[in-house]
Amino acid sequence: MSTAQVEVMFRSERDVDSWTARHERGEVPGRWPYGLDLLARPGLTVTRRSLPEPTRADRLRAMLRRSPRSSTGSTDIGIAWDENLARRMLVLAPHAAMHAGAIWLTDALAADPDSARVRSTLDVLRRMDSVFVNSRAQVEPLERALAGTGTRVSFFTFGVDADFFSAQPPADRPLVVSVGGDRDRDPATLFAALARVHEARPDVEIVVQSSSDVPPPAGVTKIPRLSHVELRSLYARASVVAVATRPNLHMSGLTVSLESMATARPVVLTRTPGVEDYVDDGGNARLVPTGAPESLADAVVELLDDPAEARALGRRARAQIEARLTSAHLVDNMAAAVGLG
């Protein structure tokens, strides 16, 4: 029986060699980003490749060698984490079978399906054997957009490094934390909520890591960047972690939420499509409506005022991470989704 050869793609800007060395020093989660080195298993050789942004000449060469998708069962397999890497893989490192994740595309598709960027990205994904997502809400729009191409769409849950982000004892002093600033975060709602938290509990420290241009309200400290070690320490100091996003399909804020839950911290986040695969409201986190700073503030203050419930919520969150939302679970589910067993 032939051994399958799997090559995992990363952006050259990420410098995975450096990432691996930093992991050995305990500075970042996962030996490879997302723990994708864990794909290695009997009968499967897994390597990685770093891909730069293709040049115009690279793209022209790729057009000349354009070929149909291979038959099912190929042992030459390429995997790209997202749609941008899928483009680089298709141009610079094509494989007989190719699989890619999709993150931002579904929201861009809903906003402007005729944009050049959406159309070119769909052209790339139509060349993939399968596309995977970490939010169930993305499946139907992608299936509709890729209908008739033979590209399969699958969902599996995301996961985090539960050893790097280990369970921590309760915080010594009250601290509310929020982390992240991707395109679907909602800093206006977050800061309006945290202003209300500060008004209700002026004794509580509030720290937000964000690159947003929105100025923080009184009582809120904003910091632009954190290393993974600094982030882990901030989670460990937190009493509550708050995440506010705009409506989106790809579950903005998911990584921060799961890392916080792995640290055994109570999380309050906005309810967006797909969240039910990760959160049982009141069971392992608290959910509030999008664009509702009063609800977000109330949920945070309730947990600050009830430390016993906050601790219990954090313990239940950690248990859920260990049961089904670690990097190992992510990789096992990915292997099944792309036909690696």
- The answer to whether position 104 is within a domain reads yes
Beta-bridged to residue 268, according to DSSP, are: 242, 286
Largest CA distance in the chain: 67
Q: Is residue 164 part of a domain?
A: no
Shared domain for 241 and 313, answered yes or no, is yes
Clarify whether residues 49 and 122 are in a common domain.
yes
63 pLDDT band, cuts 50/70/90, is confident
pLDDT at 67 over 60: no
CB 225 within 8 Å of CB 198: no
* Whether the Cβ atoms of residue 317 and residue 264 lie closer than 8 Å to each other: yes
Is the pLDDT at 43 greater than 90? The verdict is no
**34 and 142 co-located in one domain:** yes
96 and 33: one domain?
yes
Same structural domain for residues 208 and 305?
yes
Weakest-pLDDT range from 43-47, 105-109, 122-126, 219-223: 43-47
* Residues 145 and 206 placed together within one structural domain of the fold: no
Supply the pLDDT for residue 140.
Answer: 97
**Which tens digit of pLDDT belongs to each residue from 128-153?**
999 999 999 999 999 999 999 999 99
Question: Average pLDDT of 227-247?
Answer: 98
Residues 144 and 187 in one domain: no
User: Across-strand partners of 76?
Assistant: 5
Helix (H/G/I), strand (E/B), else coil: 302 = helix
Does residue 203 share a domain with residue 127? no
DSSP characters over 313-340: HHHHHHHHHHHH-BHHHHHHHHHHHTT-
pLDDT score, position 245: 97
Q: Are 27 and 50 found together in one domain?
A: yes
43: left (phi over 0), alpha (psi -120 to 50) or beta: left
* Angle subtended at Cα 179 by Cα 181 and Cα 273, rounded to the nearest 5 degrees: 70
Please check whether residue 18 lies inside any domain of the structure. Answer: yes
Q: Could you tell me if residue 141 is inside a domain?
A: yes
Same domain, 11 and 155: yes
Domain that residue 308 falls in: 175-324
> Residue 226 above 80 pLDDT?
yes
Statement to judge: residues 132 and 267 lie in one domain: no
Report residue 258 as tokens.
């799961």
**What integer pLDDT is reported at residue 69 of this predicted model?**
57
Q: What is the pLDDT of residue 72?
A: 56
pLDDT band per the 50, 70, 90 thresholds, residue 70: low
CATH of the domain at 36: 3.40.50
User: Are residues 118 and 247 both part of a single domain?
Assistant: no
Check residues 2 and 328 and name the one with the higher pLDDT. 328
- 265 lies in some domain: yes
Q: Which long-range contacts (CB under 8 A, 24 or more apart) does 63-71 make?
A: 65/94, 69/127, 69/129, 69/150, 70/96, 70/97, 70/129
Structural domain total, the chain: 2
